[in-house]
Structure 1
Amino acid sequence: MAELTHMIDSEVFLAFSTYATIVVLKMMLMSPMTGYFRLTRKVHKPKVWNVQYTQNNLKRVSLHFTAVS
């Protein structure tokens, strides 16, 4: 148990936990923000993504690209 308290007091662990906390908080903030802006500006997934469900409920994603002139 003494090794665990020594590890928590380490400067490297403190830096890791600080940056990990920042990344998790950013992820938790960006998800609702993205949803809000997509709903208010009516932006949805691109039409090139065609998602189909097979009989055994496996998702198969296929891309359909069209030529833009």
Structure 2
Amino acid sequence: MFIKEQTKKLSSLIFEQLIRAIDNYICLTEQTIDVNEASKVLGIKPDSVLKMIKRGKLIATKKEKMVIAKNI
């Protein structure tokens, strides 16, 4: 039987993995750009693009290198 704290941790883990799976699907089906190109388009540094990815502000996945969904 699960206690409330275990259920919260499990729900959080499931949610994180669902988001990752959706991001991967989007990046496989949409056009993508790399971090350097995204930084030029957005007018920010590549490190800032990576921070936005980490915070969930950009849809991205890692293929050979990190790629960002272009049209979303």
Pairwise same-fold verdict (TM > 0.5)? no
User: With CA pairs under 8 Å and 6+ residues apart, which has the higher RCO, 1 or 2?
Assistant: 2
Which of the two has higher C-alpha Rg? 1
Higher helix fraction (1 or 2) = 2
- What TM-score comes out, normalization by structure 2 length? 0.42
